[in-house]
Amino acid sequence: MMSEADKQQKKPAAVGEDAMAVDSAEEGRTAEALLRVVPVGLCLAAMAIMLRNSQENDFGAVSYADLTAFKYLVFANGVCAAYSLLSAFYVAMRRPSTLSRSWSVFLLDQVLTYAILAAGTVAAEIVYLAYMGAEKVTWSKECTAFDGFCRRATTSLGFTFGSVACYVLLSLVSSYRLFSNYDTPITFLSSKGLEIAAYPC
């Protein structure tokens, strides 16, 4: 049997381990909150540059509003900036982690990652065609006439793909937290022969 002295020695060690675990969780929460703040600046920069992107010269006039892909890019960056700010506050708040909250953050991170990636990819294709042209569809090299417009669009895309990189990291973080803290669902058959997934406690 364990003596009373041994029990007294193990109590401080257990308290120390608990304190270290709490400190580690706090550091992880702070780091994730900071990582979620970074896309706010990137998305706002991309959105601001694109909103002011227009050019007029002897060849005519062009604006981001003339292209649906660029309008979608502005919208996606605005949504992602708002979500990043809200999720940073949400993650920074001290609250017990639950399965539903972990799933919510994971799914929203996935949706926003694919949304901003799709917006950047479509806009990048338009910029590529503007620079290189496409003879088969009689698309001329518009950037030779509207070089300033193309440069600003390229800069906006650079900030957008920077936010994409951040969202990829955030998706990895949220997926790791979800699938490392909670077991996979157990599938069983109900009395009616239907498969039902349930998470173990």
Q: Report the mean per-residue pLDDT for the chain.
A: 79
How far are the Cα atoms of 173, 188, 194, 195, 197 from residue 191, in angstroms, in the given order? 38, 10, 7, 10, 14
Specify the pLDDT at position 174: 84
Predicted confidence (pLDDT) at residue 191 exceeds the cutoff of 60: no
Do the Cβ atoms of 150 and 127 come closer than 8 Å? Answer: yes
Q: What does the DSSP 8-state code read for residue 184?
A: P
Do the Cβ atoms of 114 and 200 come closer than 8 Å? Answer: no
pLDDT tens, residue by residue, 20-52? 444 445 666 778 888 889 999 999 999 999 999
Q: What are phi and psi of 184, to 5 degrees?
A: -70, 150
Percent of the chain with pLDDT strictly greater than 70: 71
